[in-house]
Structures are given as C-alpha cells and as structure tokens.
C-alpha cells in the first residue's frame, strides 16, 4: 500500500517540475477583430509544396522520375502554382527543375516555384536552374522569431531586416540569368511567423515591399508560416489579421493605396500541424484576409506534417464553394501518392482514407441506408446533400456507395441489408431485416472480424435460400384451370419430403402460392397462413430472376420469413414458403 501511495506523489512532483517549463503563448492585441464575422465564398490560390516540403520529410526522397510523375499528378488535379524544389541544394533538385523546363512539361498556365535562402551564390544558382521557364515564383525566406534570432542566427532585428533586403537585391541582380521572357515573381516568407512578434513581421515585410516595389501586374507574395504551431487556431487568425492591418497602414498615404488593397501584395498561408489544427489555422487565416494557401496532399511534411490541402479543398466543397481542384478520383490519387512517396494515407484520413465513408455501427448504417434509399427514390441527383453521417457525397470523390456500409460485430440489421442490396440486388422486406441482421452479426462476432460481402451473402444463402430441412420439394407441377370459379384457377401437384417422409400432394388455389399452401395441409407441416408477400426482379433480359419473400403466421403465434429465387415467379414464391417453414 505504501508503494502505491508514494508512486503517484512522485509522479505529481515530476509533473509540477515539467509544467514549469511551459507557459501560455499570450494574447494578440486585437480587440476589434473582424475575421469571426467573415465567411469563405471562393477558393484561394493553391500552391502545392509536395515536391519540396513534402519531399524533404520522406525517409527516402523521391527520385527525379518519381518527382516528374508527381508533378504531372499535381497538374491533373488542377494546381496552378507548384513549388518544385530548392535547386541550389543538390543535384537531384537541380536536375528535376531543368528536366521540367527542357522537356516542356510545364503547362503555360502553371507557375513553378523555387526556394532559396538569401545568400548571393544560392540565388545565382537558382536563377540558372529556372532559365527558360515562362513563369517563376522565387521563394525567399529567413526565420525571424526570437528563438531563431537568438539561437539560429545570433542576429538582431535590424540585421535580419538587412538580410532580407539583401536577398531581394540579389534576386534583382541575378534575375537576368533566367533569360528573356521569364516572369519572376517574389515570395517572401518570414519563417516562424507564428512564433514571432507580429509588429516585427510587419517591419521586415514592409522593408521587402520597399525593396521589391511590387505592382498589381507583378504582385509580391507575403507568405505567413506556422512553421511550428504554438497556439490555438484563433490566435493565428488574429496574427494574420493584425499583420494585414499593419502592412496596409505602414508608410502609405491611405488604406486604399496600400499594396494589399490594390492587389500588389498577396497574403499567403503556410501551415504546419504540430497541434493537429493545421486545417483550422488555414481556414481561420483565410477568414482573416489571406487569399493563397501552400500545403501538400494528405498533409505530408516534417513532424506532424504540412497543411492537408485535400481536406481544406473538400471542406469548401461541402459548403458549396468550388475548390477549383479535382479530387473526383481520390482513390487513384491515394494510390499514386502512396506509391511515389512511400507514405500511407491513414484509413481515417478525411476524405481520402479507406474507411472515412464506412459505417460499422448499426444505428449509423440504418440512418445512412434509409436516407440514401429516400434520395434514390426521389430521383433528384442534384438535390441538396443531406445524408446522415456523410458530409459529402462519396461519388463526388470517385467512391462507391457499396463501400459505405461494411459489416462486423458492431453492425445492425441495416448493414447486412445494405450489403445484400448493393452487391447482390437483394431487397429485403423490412420485416426480414432483424432476423437476417442477427444471423450475420452472430457470425461476425464469432469470427471477430469484418465480413466480406461474399460472406454476408453466404450466410443469407445458407439460412434462407438453400434450405432443405425439414421440408424440401422433390417435384412440382402447376396447371392453370379454366372454370367458373376464378378464385381456384391454379392446380398444384407436388412431391415433398417432410422430416424424412415422402408425401404426394395436390390442391387448387388462386395462384401458385395459395395452391401450394393448400396442398401442404395434406402433410404434417405446421399450419400457417401467408401474412405478407414481396417480390422483385434481379438482373436484366434473359438473365432476369425473381426474388420472392413471404411471411408465414403459424398457429402457435410465431411468424417467420422465407425467401425463394427462381426464373419463374411462381416457383420463387413456393421456395419462399419452404424457406419460411424451415426457419421454424
């Protein structure tokens, strides 16, 4: 007992010492923030950084051939700005950029982005790498936060401003190395913006604006990275709004003449995901006034990753905003991504994961099945999407409804019914759902795993379609009788086996089912009445078969459903009666 008491006390003391290392991030001085009242009405400019930020985070970086294929994938998705690398950093990056240009792989409406630090020889080599390209964004960056000023650079604020301005001048000096006809745009990132003083970010970016002198026809991109997430998403939105206000008001005669207002400066976001809120930071940053976003497919990147552009884009789609990116074949995109990067897309990754549209819970399955059925019967494919548990129509991203509901021990009656309907065209009556669902659930629980559709069908087939005991039909003949009594127009003759005994039976009825039911009264089979009957066709043309479902009410008060399948609707009904009796 003493040990049990002492251990928690020791841990408590360790916790107190550990927590002393951390303190709240602080409050951004923005009392009249406007972003909470804004809404997103159009997509930002998207820039993929998969080939740089994403690639540098891989255990095995992509080869040139892999990067070329990935570039083509990004173009097909619809990215108009793609960061292709840091060509001055190594031969692979340089060769990749040159092949893109020399082999004419860059569409005219796509701008490539290259990254470099401010140093002159790196800028010069980067300009040589992009020579001959049509449209280029030169991405210049240096870290500005206190921790970087103290530990990384050992420089003051003024020295960092001078470093940024020197980088701009180097770009201007060496721009001619890219050749005539190449449009060079500048992107400047005050790295670790999220951990820096916002007023200093305004200072250094204002100096970059003054040095570059952007115009609406050749705007400057100011990219605001959450290099590391330090605080909640609303804090980042406050930082972005405060930054934009500072840039708009700094050293300009009026707000209207400020470069952000007149389109000479574009505010861009570059979010990471250390706190798991990269998507939220991006969305709130757009509310705060940004119009451009950098990120990667499925959030690949250092530590917990970059912003997941797929999620942000499809979030917009669910709100009726065209994301201007094509994820209509997301399974193919996932396949290419995993093959080229060696990274897996988690099964619960929003939109792209294998299981994100899958319901195992019985109550979820039932709600989804009913809502989709109602939507199908309404026959209004463009009606507002309002299906429970599915924020987006899976078909809009190339997924099929069959994969929405899958069956395990947690599944209810709706799961089995959905699988039988989607995979095999079997439309179970409502009254059958409970018994079929219970049989399937029992098997899933016994096997302790998910059941494949074929296994669900096998359970249904064994329990309802292929029953032969205690009753089976040995032979069956139907004759339509002409006479004055229209209610008895079918004569049924059959040979049946009941509990091992053979019986030759025959009777009339107003149809094959009624005639067969009447004939069974000549055997010891328990007495029953037909209380419900359903039928539908499966297949088309010569392959069409009939499915019949009957509910029998027995004299002991019990009710049982049976199912029959045949190319003859009458025979299908007879087999359904046999199935129901055997369920007893």
Paired tokens of 351: 């939109």
pLDDT value for 489: 82
Q: Are 404 and 417 in contact (CB under 8 A)?
A: no
Residue 9: per-residue pLDDT: 55
Predicted confidence at residue 447, as pLDDT, reads 86
> pTM for this one?
0.84
Cβ count within 10 A of residue 468: 11
Mind listing the domains of the chain with CATH numbers? 36-341 (3.20.20.70), 362-463 (no CATH), 471-583 (3.30.160.270)
Q: Which of 397, 419, 400, 399 is nearest to 408 (CA)?
A: 419
pLDDT in tens, 301-338: 999 999 999 999 999 999 999 999 999 999 999 999 99
Whether the CB-CB separation of 293 and 312 falls below 8 Å is answered with: yes
Q: Which two tokens stand for residue 312?
A: 């942000």
Q: What is the pLDDT of residue 14?
A: 67
Tell me the average confidence (pLDDT) per consecutive run of 10 residues in the chain, 584 residues long: 48 66 91 97 98 96 98 98 96 97 98 94 96 97 95 94 96 96 96 97 96 95 97 98 93 64 92 98 98 98 97 97 98 98 96 92 86 89 92 94 77 83 92 92 89 93 92 90 65 93 92 92 95 92 90 94 92 94 92
Contact 97, 132 (CB under 8 A): no
Cis peptide before 61 (omega within 30 of 0): no
Token pair of 356 as six digits: 């994100």
Query: Is the CB of residue 231 less than 8 Å from the CB of residue 202?
Result: no
Using CA atoms, how far residue 446 sits from 415, 419, 583, in Å, is 17, 19, 21
Cα distances (Å, whole numbers) of residue 582 to 389, 470, 525, 563, 571: 38, 6, 10, 11, 17
Predicted confidence at residue 2, as pLDDT, reads 45
- Give residue-wise pLDDT tens across range 39-70: 999 999 999 999 999 999 999 999 999 999 99
pLDDT for position 174:
96
């Amino acid at each position: 007992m003493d040990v049990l008491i002492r251990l928690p006390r020791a841990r408590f003391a360790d916790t107190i010492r550990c927590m002393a290392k951390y303190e709240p991030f602080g409050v951004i001085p923005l009392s009249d923030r406007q972003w909470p009242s804004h809404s997103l009405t159009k997509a930002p400019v998207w820039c993929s950084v998969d080939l740089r930020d994403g690639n540098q985070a891989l255990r095995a970086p992509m080869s040139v051939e892999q990067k070329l294929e990935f570039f083509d994938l990004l173009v097909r998705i619809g990215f108009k700005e793609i960061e292709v690398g840091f060509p001055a950093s190594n031969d692979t990056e340089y060769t990749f950029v040159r092949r893109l240009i020399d082999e004419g792989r860059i569409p005219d409406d796509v701008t490539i982005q290259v990254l470099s630090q401010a140093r002159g020889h790196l800028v010069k080599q980067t300009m040589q790498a992009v020579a001959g390209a049509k449209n280029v964004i030169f991405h210049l960056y240096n870290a500005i936060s206190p921790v970087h000023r103290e530990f990384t650079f050992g420089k003051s604020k003024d020295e960092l401003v001078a470093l940024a301005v020197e980088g701009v001048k180097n770009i201007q000096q060496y721009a001619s190395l890219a050749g005539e006809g190449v449009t060079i745009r500048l992107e400047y990132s005050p790295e670790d913006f999220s951990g820096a003083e916002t007023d200093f970010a305004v200072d250094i970016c204002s100096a970059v604006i003054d040095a570059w002198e952007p115009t609406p026809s050749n705007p400057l991109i100011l990219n605001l990275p959450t290099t590391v997430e330090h605080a909640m998403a609303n804090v980042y939105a406050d930082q972005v709004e405060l930054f934009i206000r500072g840039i708009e008001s700094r050293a300009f005669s009026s707000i209207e003449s400020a470069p952000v207002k007149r389109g000479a400066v574009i505010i861009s976001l570059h979010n990471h995901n250390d706190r798991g809120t990269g998507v939220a930071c991006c969305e709130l940053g757009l509310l705060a006034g940004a119009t451009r976003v950098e990120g990667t497919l499925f959030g690949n990147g250092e530590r917990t990753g970059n912003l997941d552009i797929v999620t942000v884009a499809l979030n917009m789609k669910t709100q009726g905003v065209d994301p201007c990116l094509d994820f209509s074949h997301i399974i193919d995109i996932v396949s290419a991504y995993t093959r080229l990067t060696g990274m897996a897309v988690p099964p619960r990754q929003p939109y792209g994961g294998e299981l994100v549209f899958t319901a195992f819970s019985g109550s979820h399955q039932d709600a989804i099945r009913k809502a989709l059925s109602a939507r199908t019967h309404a026959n209004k494919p463009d009606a507002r999407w309002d299906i429970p548990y599915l924020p987006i129509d899976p078909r809009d991203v190339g997924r099929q409804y069959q994969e929405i509901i899958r069956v395990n021990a947690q599944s209810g009656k709706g799961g089995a019914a959905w699988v039988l309907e989607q995979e095999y065209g079997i439309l179970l009556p409502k009254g059958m759902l409970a018994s079929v669902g219970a049989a399937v659930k029992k098997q899933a629980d016994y096997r302790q795993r998910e059941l494949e559709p074929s296994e669900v069908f096998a359970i249904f087939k064994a329990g309802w379609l292929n029953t032969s005991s205690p009753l089976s039909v040995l032979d069956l003949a139907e004759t339509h009788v002409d006479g004055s009594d229209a209610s008895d127009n079918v004569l049924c003759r059959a040979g049946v086996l009941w509990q091992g005994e053979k019986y030759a039976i025959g009777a009339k009825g107003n149809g094959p089912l009624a005639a067969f039911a009447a004939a069974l009264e000549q055997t010891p089979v328990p007495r029953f009445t037909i209380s419900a009957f359903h039928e539908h066709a499966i297949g088309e043309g010569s392959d069409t078969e009939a499915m019949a479902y009957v509910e029998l009410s027995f004299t002991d008060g019990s009710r049982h459903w049976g199912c029959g399948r045949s190319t003859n609707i009458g025979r299908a009904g007879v087999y359904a009666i046999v199935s129901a009796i055997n369920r007893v």
